[in-house]
Structure 1
Amino acid sequence: MQAQDIQQLIEDGLPGAQVVVRGDDGQHFEAEIIYTGFAGKSVVEQHRMVYGALGKRMGGEIHALALRTRAE
């Protein structure tokens, strides 16, 4: 799994989101996501939305993902 793969999955799952993913070891990544759909949601809810976009890859192909999320 590469950073650009994760970015694409998040963008597909959260249409219109601005996503930047970093990580170069293939397992540990960090992502910054700005998405209007996060408005009014808690940080936990926002992170669950991102995890939902990634599905079963979390904990498998993606070992660790640090998230910074906010509404636009």
Structure 2
Amino acid sequence: MAMNADEIERRIKVALPDAVVTIKDLAGDGDHYSALVMSEAFRGKSRLQQHQMVYAALKGSMGGELHALALQTVTPDSAPTTAH
């Protein structure tokens, strides 16, 4: 069963309560998403560490319930203007 965008956002916000999350369904199939996650928790972390934090929030769903996630992580001061 595929994971819907609301569930992806919910899981990320449980792990990163201050996160602003923007999810897009890339293929219209509920299986391929892009996510922009903005959180102060990313400050001082490498991009790899930031992505690991998001993947940990998804609790092993990648490759199963969630087939593909194009992930972009930012801190509030480095966010693209569309994320504000």
Q: State which of 49, 54, 69 in structure 1 corresponds to 2:58.
A: 54
1:32 aligns to what SS in structure 2?
strand
Find the counterpart in structure 2 of residue 10 from structure 1: 12
Distance 2:60 2:38 in 1: 22
Mapping for residues 25-36 of structure 1, pairs under 5 Å: 25-36=29-40
Aligned residue identity for 1:3: A
Q: CA RMSD in A?
A: 0.8
Aligned mates of 2:60, 2:46 — CA distance in 1: 22
Output the CA distance in 1 between the equivalents of 2:56 and 2:46: 15
Q: Distance in 2 between matches of 1:17 and 1:5?
A: 14
Q: TM-score, normalised to structure 1's length? A: 0.94
Look at both structures and tell me which one has the larger radius of gyration over its CA atoms: 2
* Worse-matched range after superposition: 12-21 or 45-54: 12-21
Q: Percent identity?
A: 46
* Equivalent position of 1:64 in the other structure: 68
Deviation at 1:13, TM superposition (A): 1.3
List 4+ stretches of structure 1 deviating above 3 A: none
Q: Where does residue 43 of structure 2 map in the other structure?
A: 39
Measure how far apart 1:26 and its partner are.
1.4
Deviations 1:29-72 (A, max 9, x none): 00001000000111110000000000111111000000110111
